[in-house]
């Protein structure tokens, strides 16, 4: 049983580490905050869930601890919902503060920081809506 678990768990652990390393590389190589947030959110969430699955397999089949398994499931669920939400909030705050996203060459994708702020708002600005009607 332990041999079968090792054959299943080690590739999953390596996959989780690859996710986490890819996220670290993305944090250093990508051009702006928005793409770095995407790399951090997706890879860290995926890597954490895969490594959590490995720990869950060992908790259930090797140690036989239901309490540890329940705690790991709670941690994985918390990570699944909070990491993407935090990245979304950080990206929205950056847009609202006027941080303009850039492309791979470092060129801005928007014309001004006001345009970034407007893009970050959930609803259009009332003054711009009045100006458009005129």
On whether the CB atoms of residues 84 and 41 are closer than 8 A, the answer is yes
For residue 99, give the nearest of 25, 35, 26 by alpha carbon: 35
H-run or E-run covering 127: helix 126-133
Name 102's Cβ contacts closer than 8 Å, sequence gap at least 6. 31, 32, 108, 109
pLDDT per residue over 73-82, tens digit each?
999 999 999 9
Q: How far apart are CA 96 and CA 74, in angstroms?
A: 33
Residue 6 is classified by DSSP as H
Element (H, E) at 119: helix 113-120
pLDDT in single tens digits along all 134 residues of the chain: 788 888 999 999 999 999 999 999 989 988 889 989 988 899 989 999 999 999 999 999 988 999 999 999 999 999 999 998 999 999 999 988 888 888 878 788 887 888 888 877 866 655 555 455 55
């Amino acid at each position: 049983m332990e041999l079968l678990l090792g054959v299943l768990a080690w590739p999953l652990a390596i996959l989780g580490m690859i996710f986490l390393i890819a996220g670290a590389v993305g944090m250093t190589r990508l051009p702006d905050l928005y793409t770095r947030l995407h790399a951090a959110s997706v890879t860290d969430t995926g890597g954490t869930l895969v490594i959590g699955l490995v720990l869950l397999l060992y908790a259930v089949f090797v140690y036989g601890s239901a309490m540890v398994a329940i705690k790991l499931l709670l941690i994985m669920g918390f990570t699944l919902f909070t990491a993407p939400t935090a990245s979304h909030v950080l990206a929205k705050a950056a847009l609202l503060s006027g941080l303009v996203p850039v492309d791979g060459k470092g060129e801005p994708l928007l014309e001004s920081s006001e345009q970034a702020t407007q893009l970050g708002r959930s609803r259009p600005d009332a003054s711009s809506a009045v100006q458009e009607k005129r």
